[in-house]
Structure 1
């Protein structure tokens, strides 16, 4: 639904350009159709970056919002290239020659800036090398796209054009200019408007993850089990916000994160986080919650993908009207976290069963092993998955070959660039 609404708004901009500029020539018409659609795309991208809560259900979660956000960026790059190379040629209307000249210059510099930043956003790894563009560099430069959008808005409002300000196209684009600029301003205020302050009171370093427990200072986050939040530590080297699934939520507002040291930031976090550190948290986000699933469910966690299941399992009461079988796959038992929670819940609740798959002892987990060891037939259940995508793809493919294709597969695409 979300994608349909967005593309409808974008295509409508192109359609509105036809009656406004078709009296010129074909080249100008196609060029201004492309520029109008690109402008609406940019405004919607700014709006999505503000993370309004009501758009999550339209796309199925914030992860999918950001994946679609990336598609918009690719579309913008293509459309502005069309506008640039199909040079408009018309006798148009301008407010003043001075403003027209400024608008032309603003558009030229915005084009070069956007082209560079959009390529930087789209390309994660430099082609023919193993050099990955660092997350902090991507995030820092990405913020300038909002400023460039302001230049584009100035360009489209004051550049000479073959229609006047009362045309429906002009009104439509001006509305999206206001939406985009206000959204950008809001994103710059986001760290103060939507974050909550927390204090770390416990840090435990397991083989598989660093467990961070923090209590709220003032208002607590509103989080559902299975959701994630953006975390940053008010400490040198750790101030950059990163998304992490919340592994535990208590009634008093206490939250717990289980973070595996996989990259530069998470390794620095493991080494430097300490009791008494102040955190800024934002959330919760995501639609990964078993309560909206079927009556029969199989939960499959791979490695650190256990975190949403840990939060959901802690909140099971046995009266959900759902039968749940969980499989937790780890390379070695020593890496497993939260075993005591899963085992205690399985012993106490009649609707929850639990199996730990230790790959070092049990071999590689495949669909046949999953189906044979499950208390629920996968063909009659939803599969809720969190872990490495290759494991998910192999299991789903294997179950399909066994004639036990799950009714639905739920997972999050936990990448935001």
Structure 2
């Protein structure tokens, strides 16, 4: 992504027209880069199998989609500040600088639609997950930040947005307008940019924006016909703990085959129609049966215990993800936080058919008694190479990196693999410490279970 952005900028620097003011040039370059990044962001959620291969799982592709979209939006700030009042090639130039998007004609109107529409969707998406955006901060600093008055305002704003605008499903529906808003900005650039006296700049811009719009049309029209979908039926609904439910589904036709640790798209019918959520499969791939361990974290997941009943139909899409224990070395650390235990449950429940050929220390940290603790310890009792460490953060504080690293103190850190799934602040903090201790980045694997 960085190389593509740099090459695109170099093309503009080399073939940019002579005599154009640097302020106007850089402003329009920022706008073109924004179109490029948002186009790539659309490609990443096009559900093409190649995207999952290139990005090592669609959960990681979705994370990059969010990063590129936010970066593209930030680039619109210098574009609005510095790009001058532009004119179509062949038209007379305006007689003075006018902020981009405020010029006459259709170009300015399209700019306003694109910028404010994308900004509104971004704010709506960020408000419920503002804490995750600060996960790079040390855990104690993040806790102090969350107690500030400004963050209390952010929490109230998030609650108001859910009440007034609706929850995740409404946002996801409106998020599908992203391509149309990108199209508005793209056409604005074609109408207003003074740079396009250069054919190279015009064609580079056309390719960048056209690619994103082509993938948008594909996703919204024909992509659904290429998705692997499987018909299932809810067999059991089992409350495990407060706010935690385990669903068992049986196939009605051809079952879905998966590798332990993968996730799938689960379509269930609720009060307001069919709803889709990605959930990690927590069971073993035996007989086509699927198990999902679902924590009440959002609008629909909170209602699952009361809405879902045995006999209800379900549709499964997938599988997805590359969180695979077999990719690890002979010495492994497994680190789960809360509902992040689900891929590890799948590994443990399938150990008789998928051998765990490694020495493993499994850390499972929860706020209170650990769900599935009896099952996990029972499996570990039959696997001498697996040691389980249950950690109650309410009694012992946060799981420390020192406690984790102490279990591999006698091992070469370059030969240690770590698999992490849990809240982003915990995973980010442990990842930094593992790298500092000498563990190779390629041996650190994480599932972004909170990407949706």
TM range (shorter): 0.7 to 0.9
What's the offset of the Cα at 1:345? 6.0
Q: Which residue of 2 aligns with 1:111?
A: 115
Residue 190 of structure 2 is aligned to residue 130 of structure 1: no
Query: Once the two structures are superposed, what CA deviation does each residue of 1:198-221 show, in whole Å capped at 9, x if it has no partner?
Result: 221121111262111112344443
Report how many residues are paired.
403
Q: CA RMSD in A?
A: 3.7
Q: Which residue of 2 aligns with 1:62?
A: 58
Matches within 5 A, 1:6-405: 6-18=1-13, 19-89=15-85, 92-93=88-89, 101-124=105-128, 128-131=153-156, 132=158, 133-134=161-162, 135-136=167-168, 137-159=170-192, 161-163=194-196, 167-189=199-221, 190=223, 193-194=226-227, 195-207=229-241, 209-237=244-272, 239-316=274-351, 317=353, 321-333=357-369, 335-337=370-372, 339-340=374-375, 343-344=378-379, 346-347=381-382, 349=383, 352-355=385-388, 357=390, 359=392, 363=396, 366=400, 381-389=416-424, 391-392=426-427
TM-score (norm 1): 0.81
Return 75-84 or 324-333, whichever deviates more.
324-333
Show structure 2 runs of 5+ residues with no match. Answer: 92-103, 131-149
What's the offset of the Cα at 1:104? 4.3
Distance 1:90 1:148 in 2: 20
Distance 2:322 2:12 in 1: 37
Whether the 8 Å contact between 1:91 and 1:162 is mirrored in structure 2 is: no
Whether the 8 Å contact between 1:310 and 1:338 is mirrored in structure 2 is: no
Q: Relative to structure 1, is the Cα distance of residues 331 and 101 closer, same or farther in structure 2, using a 3 angstrom cutoff?
A: closer
Q: Relative to structure 1, is the Cα distance of residues 192 and 210 closer, same or farther in structure 2, using a 3 angstrom cutoff?
A: farther
Whether the 8 Å contact between 2:421 and 2:446 is mirrored in structure 1 is: yes
Whether the 8 Å contact between 2:245 and 2:294 is mirrored in structure 1 is: yes
Distance 1:29 1:371 in 2: 51
Return 355-364 or 241-250, whichever deviates more.
355-364
**What secondary structure is seen at the aligned counterpart in 2 of 1:264?**
coil
Whether the 8 Å contact between 1:302 and 1:386 is mirrored in structure 2 is: yes
Q: Relative to structure 1, is the Cα distance of residues 22 and 109 closer, same or farther in structure 2, using a 3 angstrom cutoff?
A: farther
Distance 1:15 1:89 in 2: 23
